[in-house]
Amino acid sequence: MNKCSKNRTFGQILHDEVLQIHDKTFEIFIRNEEIQTEIASIAETLNTEYAGKEVVFIAILNGAFMFAADLMKRVTLPCEISFVKVSSYQGMNSSGRVDEVIGLNTSIKNKHVIILEDIVDTGITINKIMTLLATEHPASIKITTLLYKPEAFVGKHKPDFVGFSIPNSFVVGYGLDYNEHGRNTEHIYQLKG
C-alpha cells in the first residue's frame, strides 16, 4: 500500500461532517448530492438557452475545476471548453499591476462565452475577467457560478446562473481552498463560527 492511500492530504482530517485544515475547523454545509442536483438543473437551463449557438465555456482555475468537470458531463450542447487563470503582473512601463487571462487557447470572437466560477464573492475577479474577455469581441458573455455571496458583492456584473446563494462566511471543499488545502472533498464545508 502506498503512502497516499493510507493518509489523506497533509493537514486535512476528514470525518465527513467535519473538516480540519491547518488551524481552522469547518463543518458540513452543502452535500455532494445537493450539488449534483443543482448542477443538473443549471445544465438543463444552459442546454435550453444556448441551443443552436456556438458556445465556449471558460472555467476559471483553480477553484472551478470540479464544478466545471461535473457540469460539462451534463451539457449536451456542441461546445468548446478552455481552462484559464487570471494573473496580475508588473507592467513594463507603468507602476500599476496589469491583469491578464492565461491559457485561453481558442478564439472567442463572435462566440457565446459562458464563464464558469466556483464562487463570486466581492465580484472583483469577475470584473477583471469580463473586461479582459470583452476586448476579444465575443457575441455574448454570461457568468455561471456554483456559489454566490450577495452580501459581499460590490461588482459590476452579477452572475447570470447561480447554483447556491450563500451567507457571507468562508467555505471550502469541492474545488474551493483554504490556503490551497481542502479542494479535494466532494462536499462543501463552512467555517465553524
Active-site residues, by number, are 121
Q: Is 43 exposed, middle or buried (0-12, 13-18, 19+ CB in 10 A)?
A: buried
Q: Is 175 in the site for Mg ion (CB under 5 A)?
A: no
Q: What is the 3-state secondary structure (H, E, C) of 121-173?
A: CCCHHHHHHHHHHHCCCCCEEEEEEEEECCCCCCCCCCCCEEEEECCCCCEEE
106 or 168: whose CB is closer to ligand IMP? 168
3-state secondary structure of 117: strand
Which one of ligand IMP, Mg ion, none interacts with residue 35, CB within 5 to 8 A by kind?
none
Query: Shortest approach of ligand IMP to residue 124 CB, angstroms?
Result: 4
49 or 181: whose CB is closer to Mg ion? 181
Query: Shortest approach of ligand IMP to residue 166 CB, angstroms?
Result: 8
The footprint of ligand IMP (CB under 6 A) covers: 63, 119-125, 170-172, 176
| Binders of Mg ion in range 59-98 (CB under 5 A) | 63
132-145 as b/e: b if 16+ CB within 10 A: ebeeeebeebebbb
d(CA 3, CA 186): 21
42 or 172: whose CB is closer to ligand IMP? 172
Which one of ligand IMP, Mg ion, none interacts with residue 9, CB within 5 to 8 A by kind?
none
Binding site residues, Mg ion, CB under 5 A: 63
